Every structure is written in structure tokens, then in C-alpha cells.
Structure 1
Amino acid sequence: MLEPPGVEDGAAVWRIARDSRALDLNSSYSYLLWFRDFAATSVVARGAGGDPVAFTTGYVRPERPDTLVVWQIAVDESRRGQGLAGAMLDHLVVRLRPRGVRHLETTVTPMNTASDRLFTVFARRQGATLRREVLFDGGLFPDVHDPEVLYRIGPLP
């Protein structure tokens, strides 16, 4: 089942993010706050017992209200390879279409081939254009960090 998250999902989502070994882990507090303030632009996938097994966090850009920014997306290791990540993206696009969302943005590091594949296939499935450009060069970060490449997908149908 795909649905907006609640603050009660924050701890489970934090664990999924931590265990992904691919995401920059935010504080556990940030997931609670995110699900309080941005539940309408985020989604959790629930397993048979009702617990989150995957999540996507997103927000609508204030300067571009037609653009959903996907902040993080992760699937529990036991549920990978079942199409949940793509299903969550499709779900969000359908849910946010009445709000005027016609573009999706995210950033992907060059070594993250799984995310590159996910968003490339998503754009193709949507029949939308995918443009890539470096958004944040690695030198902007205070620690060692790969560049963040902006993926802009749209217009969405």
C-alpha cells in the first residue's frame, strides 16, 4: 500500500535510510519533522504488517510550484527489485498532478548507478525529457563529497 507518511513512520524510515548504505543519513528528528510538514509530497510503501518498507521524501519548490523535488528514496533491502521505487514515484506524480506539478527534480551522485537507472527509466516511462547538469560541485561541501548532479524531468503528462 502506498500512502502519505505520518510522524509515527519516522523511526522506521530513519532505519531504512540508515541501512541503505547509499543515502546521506539525516537525523531521526528530521524524518519526524519532514513527515509533519511534507507528508503531502512524500510517500511510504507499507508491507503486509503495515510497517514502512520503502519511502520517498519530497517537497514542492517554493520558486517553482510546478516542480516536485525528490529528496530521498529508499527501499528496505528485503524488498528491493520489486519495482517499489518506481511505483512510489508514479504514485507521487499522480497524487500531485492536481496541484499543478509537471516537473520532478532530484540530485544523484555520479557513482549512484541505481538512482541514475531509476530516474532514467522513470522519465522514459512518463514520456518526459531528462536533463542533467551539475548542481553542486564537490568542492562546495565542507567534507569530502561527490558532486550532486541535478536531474530535471518534465514536462510530466
Structure 2
Amino acid sequence: MRIDRPRPGDGRLLWRLARDSGTLDLNSAYSYLLWCRDFAGTSAVARDASGRAVGFVSGYLRPESPGTLLVWQIAVDESVRGLGIAGALLDGLSARVAAEHGLSSLETTISPGNLASERLFASYAARHGATLTREVLFAPEEFPDRGYAPEVLHRIGPLPF
């Protein structure tokens, strides 16, 4: 397994991974192409031995808090789940971002009941000896449509980079 930066040509593959995840909100295919171009420095792709993308993490540095990496989405192909790829993606990306930009904390939002994501980020915090705090970032009534669960912000830091 190799972890590297996404390229614009990876956008369609990342869109498929997000679609097939069964848990992520699927953005437009166009947005994944743009993400791979404009936010490649704060995102990562896991590739198998043949070079095929089997996982990704997308993120960005918060403009008001440039030492904070917000993880937008993370997905791993069903065929390789349970092998630690999601954790390796988070570790590899945060190490790269820390080396290139500096990194003091990591944030993500998780919908209640997404136990796999909660475990992933709690494990990341433990591996890095960082504190994990949680608070509601967006309440259901803030969304334009009905049916949304609250988005809970998971903040991990300070990070030891």
C-alpha cells in the first residue's frame, strides 16, 4: 500500500469510493475533480500494488486557523476494509501537512451513530497522545432540508508535530 497526493485524474475514483461507502454524503463528481486539483496538498490517496486508488482522505487547512486540518471525507474500498488503511491515511496525511505547513490540531464532523468513524478518530487521538473533544457544530435545523442529524465536531489536539 502506498499513500500519496491525489491527482485530478483520481477524482472519478474518489467519487466512486465515496458513493460506494454507504455512509458519506456524495458530492458532485465535479467537486471530486476540483478537490484533487486544488486541495491535493491537504488530501491523500491509498493505492494498492497496481496503483489503483483504494482509499482517500480529503481535507483542508482552516483559513481562520491554519494550524488546523479539517478532514472532510475519508473512505476505504470495501475489499480492503479492516486492514488499517484509514488510520494510515490519517497518519500519513497529518505528518505531511505538519512537515509542509505546521499542524497543531485535526478536526472532523461525524454524524451520531457512525461508530466506525468515531473509533477511527478516537484511535488517532490516542496514537498521537492528543485530547479529543466533541461538540455539536451544526444542529439539524441549520440544514436546508429535513432529515439531517446533527454534525458533531471532533477536535483532536494539541498534536505532537
TM-score by length of 1: 0.98
Classify the secondary structure of the residue corresponding to 1:40: helix
Structure 1 residue identity aligned to 2:119: R
Q: What CA distance in whole angstroms lies between the structure 2 residues aligned with 1:86 and 1:139?
A: 32
Paired letter, 2:132: L
Alignment of 1:9-24 (within 5 A): 9-24=10-25
Secondary structure (helix, strand or coil) at the match of 2:127 reads: helix
CA distance in 2, matches of 1:116, 1:101: 21
Summarize deviations over 1:17-71 as a string: whole Å, max 9, x none.
0000100000000000011100000000001211100000000000001000000
3-state DSSP class of the match of 2:91?
helix
Structure 2: how far apart are the matches of 1:31 and 1:20? 15
Aligned to 2:135, which of 133, 136, 155? Answer: 133
User: Aligned match of 2:115 in 113, 116, 130?
Assistant: 113
Match of 1:102 among 101, 104, 107: 104
Deviates more, 1:139-148 or 1:27-36: 139-148
Alpha-carbon shift at residue 142 of structure 1 (Å) = 1.6
1 CA distance for matches of 2:36 and 2:17?
A: 15
Structure 2 matches for 1:2-151, cutoff 5 A?
2-98=3-99, 99-143=101-145, 144-151=147-154
Following superposition, the deviation at residue 119 of structure 1 comes to 0.3
Secondary structure of 2:97 counterpart: helix
In 1, the alpha carbon distance for the partners of 2:50 and 2:18 equals: 19
Q: 1:126 and 1:136 mapped to 2: Cα distance?
A: 27
Partner-residue secondary structure (3-state), 1:56: strand
Of all paired residues, the percent bearing the same amino acid is 61
- Give the superposed CA RMSD: 0.6
C-alpha distance in 2 between matches for 1:47 and 1:13: 14
The residue aligned with 1:156 is 159
Aligned residue pair count:
157
TM superposition outliers: structure 1 runs of 4+ over 2 Å: none
Q: Shift in Å at residue 2 of structure 1?
A: 0.1
1: CA distance, partners of 2:82 / 2:28:
27
Structure 2 unaligned blocks of 5 or more: none
Q: Which consecutive residues of structure 1, in runs of 5 or more, have no partner in the other structure? A: none
Q: Deviations along 1:96-121, whole A, 9 cap, x unmatched?
A: 11211110000000110100000001
